[in-house]
C-alpha cells in the first residue's frame, strides 16, 4: 500500500518518518516545500500539488492545521474528483461537526473517511508512542489498525466519526486549563516568597499533581519558550474550537474563556510560535502593564 501524507509540520514530519522507517511507500505534500527535504532524503516521493499525492496513493493521511486547510487541500474541485476508492485518515485537531461534514464530503466523492487524532507531542511522535484515538466503524478500525500502530502501539476505537474528535478537544481543553492553573499557582507562591522547590515537593506528593507541571516548570522559571513541541497559537486554536463546539452543549464555559483570553494575550505578546507555557509570562506580568 502506498500512503500519501499531507501536512508536514512539527508533528507531521516525525509521523511521516515513522512510516518510511516501516518501509511504507510514502508520497508527501506540504504547502511549504522546504519542510519536505528530510522526507525526500529518506526516500519519500515529493509532489507539488495535493491532487498528485491523492492520485498516487490508496490511503491519504491528513495532518493539517484546521478544517479550512483540509477543505482547501482535499476538497477543492480538482482534489475532490480524485477521492473515489481512497481512504482518508484525518489526524489533526478539528471539531466533531467539522469531521462529520468532511466525512460526508469524502463519502460523496466515493471515498471512505475515518478520524484518528493523537495525544502527545514531538518526542512521542518520534518514538511511535502517541495515543491514537479512532473515530470510525469497527470494520474500518480493524482494517487500518496496523497502519495506525506506526504512530501508537494501541490505537483505540472511541466510536463513530466525531467521537474521537470530541475526545481530543476535551483533552486539549485540559492541557490549556491545567497549564494555566499551574502557572497561576506558581506565580502566586513566587510573589508570596514561598520556595518553589518546597511547593513542588508538596505538589508531587499530592493527588493534585500532573506530570505536565514538571514538564513546563523549568520553561516557566527560565522564561524560555523556544523550540516548542506545541506552539501557543495551536493551543489557542484548539481552545477556540472547544468553545465553539461546547456552546451547543449547555455547559458553563466561563473558566475556559478566561484561559482563551490569556492565550490570546500571549499571542499578542509575540509568543505565538513559542511553547504554550509562555502563558506564564502573561499571568506573571498581568499587574505590570498588561491588565487593567
- Spell out the per-residue pLDDT of the chain, length 292, in tens: 899 999 999 999 999 999 999 999 999 999 998 999 999 999 999 999 998 999 999 999 999 999 999 999 898 877 778 899 999 999 999 999 999 999 999 999 999 999 999 999 999 999 999 999 999 999 999 999 999 999 999 999 999 999 999 999 999 999 999 999 999 999 999 999 999 999 999 999 999 999 999 999 999 999 999 999 999 999 999 999 999 999 989 999 999 999 999 999 999 999 999 999 999 999 998 756 554 4
Q: In angstroms, what CA-CA distances link 85 with 89, 107, 113, 164, 206?
A: 13, 10, 11, 24, 53
What is the pLDDT at residue 290?
54
Q: Write down the pTM of the prediction.
A: 0.93
Interacting residues of 98 by C-beta distance below 8 A, sequence separation 6+: 67, 165
What is the pLDDT at residue 103?
97
What is the pLDDT at residue 287?
59
CA–CA distance, 202 with 199 (Å, rounded to integer): 5
CA–CA distance, 110 with 128 (Å, rounded to integer): 31
What is the pLDDT at residue 84?
92
Amino acid at each position: 500500500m502506498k500512503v500519501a501524507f499531507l501536512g508536514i509540520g512539527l508533528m507531521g514530519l516525525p509521523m511521516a518518518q515513522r512510516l518510511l522507517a516501516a518501509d511504507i511507500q510514502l508520497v508527501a505534500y506540504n504547502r511549504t516545500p522546504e519542510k519536505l527535504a528530510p522526507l525526500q532524503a529518506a526516500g519519500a516521493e515529493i509532489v507539488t500539488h495535493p491532487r498528485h499525492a491523492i492520485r498516487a496513493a490508496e490511503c491519504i493521511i491528513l495532518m493539517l492545521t484546521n478544517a479550512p486547510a483540509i477543505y482547501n487541500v482535499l476538497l477543492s474541485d480538482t482534489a475532490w474528483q480524485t477521492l473515489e476508492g481512497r481512504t482518508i485518515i484525518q489526524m489533526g485537531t478539528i471539531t466533531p461537526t467539522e469531521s462529520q461534514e468532511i466525512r460526508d464530503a469524502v463519502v460523496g466523492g466515493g471515498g471512505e473517511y475515518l478520524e484518528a487524532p493523537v495525544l502527545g507531542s514531538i518526542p512521542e511522535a518520534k518514538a511511535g508512542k502517541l495515543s491514537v484515538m479512532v473515530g470510525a466503524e469497527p470494520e474500518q478500525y480493524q482494517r487500518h489498525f496496523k497502519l495506525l500502530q506506526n504512530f501508537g502501539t494501541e490505537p483505540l476505537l472511541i466510536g463513530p466519526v466525531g467521537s474521537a474528535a470530541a475526545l481530543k478537544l476535551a483533552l486539549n481543553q485540559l492541557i490549556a486549563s491545567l497549564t494555566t492553573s499551574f502557572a497561576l499557582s506558581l506565580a502566586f507562591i513566587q510573589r508570596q516568597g514561598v520556595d518553589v522547590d518546597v511547593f513542588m515537593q508538596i505538589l508531587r506528593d499530592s493527588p493534585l499533581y500532573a506530570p505536565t507541571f514538571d514538564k513546563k516548570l523549568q520553561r516557566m522559571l527560565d522564561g524560555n519558550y523556544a523550540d516548542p513541541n506545541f506552539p501557543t497559537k495551536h493551543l489557542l486554536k484548539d481552545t477556540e474550537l472547544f468553545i465553539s463546539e461546547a456552546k451547543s452543549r449547555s455547559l458553563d464555559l466561563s473558566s475556559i474563556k478566561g484561559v482563551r483570553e490569556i492565550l490570546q494575550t500571549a499571542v499578542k505578546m509575540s509568543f505565538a510560535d513559542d511553547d504554550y507555557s509562555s502563558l506564564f509570562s502573561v499571568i506573571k506580568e498581568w499587574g505590570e502593564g498588561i491588565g487593567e
